[in-house]
Structure 1
Amino acid sequence: MHRPVPDGLAGLKRFVWEFWFFGLKNARSCLFVGLFFAAVFVTPRAGLWGVPRYDLLLIAALAIQIAMVATRLESWDELKAISLFHVVGFALEVFKTSSGIKSWAYPDFAYTKLWGVPLFSGFMYAAVGSYIIQAWRLFDLRILHHPLYPMAALVAVLIYANFFTHHYIGDYRWYLAACALGLYARTTVVYRPLDRDRRMPLLLAFVLIGFFIWLAENISTFAGVWAYPNQLGAWSTVHVGKWSSWSMLVVMTFTIVANLKHIKRHIHVPA
């Protein structure tokens, strides 16, 4: 998504142009998310042609994913990473919706439910990975001062484990957030919205992506795709505390993406 840059672009005019292309590239990076949410709103809750809503959403998600690979918007290696996000997310969904936890629920019937969780739900986690992969390509991303990979992997594993263990031994989210803060304190993401490199603390990117996922979660619960216990009688905003959970999940997702071979070439790890 490159366009000729007007001569003499400076000051407010440059800011407007760069901000516009920053938005366009982010929108393009959200291709999977956008198409999937379009399917959510278009599909009636009662389903279509005798096919339940959740099953139709699974068909839509698979069709979008196949199309992205077929058109080479995503490579086979990237698909493997996205599939890992699907598995990791689905396992978390099964645990969170289990009878002993009941953090949220999928109330509607579907043929493609396993352990009470519709199979399409894993694609919602995979969509986060898809966004990061697409943004990496479109913004020509580079990472400076990335922590050592084993340390980043350890924090990512602990973040994921905490989503399960906090129901039994306490929520250590903020301790893990402090670890991530120290680990990525010097890490900078270099991106190109137009023709010049810009920089942003990677931690800020984690927080911003987490915020937009929280907004998407509000949209999904409003549409009745799933519901938290306090939303069963009438819809209410998803608790803002979920923002931190999503930001932590983004840290974990980024760690997986950063291990893709073609992406590692653009990551600087200090010796």
Structure 2
Amino acid sequence: KYRFRLLNGGPSRLYRFWLRTVESGLSASARKAAERFFVISTDGNLLEEPVIKDNVEIFVAERHDVIVDFSSYSPGDKIRLVNRLGMREDGAGPNGTLLDEGNEVMEFRVVASTGPDRSRIPERLRELPPINMSEVRRRRLFVFDYDNGLWTVNGKLMDPNRIDAKIEQGSAEIWTFRNAGNSWAHPVHTHFEEFQILEVNGRSVRDRGNTLRARKDVVALGPNDEVTFFGRWRDFLGKHVMHCHNVVHEDHAMMIRWDIVPKGQGD
């Protein structure tokens, strides 16, 4: 059993990774059982328990830690990590298709063990901090759009001298990110603090076994998507940013400045 960290470090492309056995004596059913990811972490934060998935989708800047169990394979077997997510030709986002073969990313080659295998997949990882809605001081909406050839947040371009949100130190807020309906996907990243997603398109993601039930710092915002999350801003006063992590959009000012301010000075 091996642990891998999958990081989408590209500028714009999204990925959906699958495992594909290319050389093995395993039966079809055994291959299917082996070609799985045990997701244990997102954006650097452990889940409450491993989540078994046959594929992992990663937006720009997202990180997923996964365990792959090679114990059913034999020396000489080969398994490949492939990306099957079909993308639009203009790069805006997925085109709604899965590639049959997929684009090969890397190959794993199984070799004979040199010692006892003490690796394991834990049943429990780390409990999430509780959400106390009575702490919520205010709610905010941020709309990501494409206006007259410009990438905007709430209809504005980035101005480093403008404070778009003044958050009181030690307070909690609920933020909603909305993709205003254009065809582009936006991986939205907030600096400094992490958050817990509450809803995606009006549906709760708080059930155990959902990889979105985790602490995160990147929101995968597809076309027409709306994501709501709970966050606490506890530690330090200062100036911070939130931006689309499609770096083309980021470089074209799809970003805001938000500040953590002393109590009594919030907006």
The answer, yes or no, to whether TM exceeds 0.5 is: no
| TM-score, with length taken from structure 2 | 0.25
Structure with greater helix percent: 1
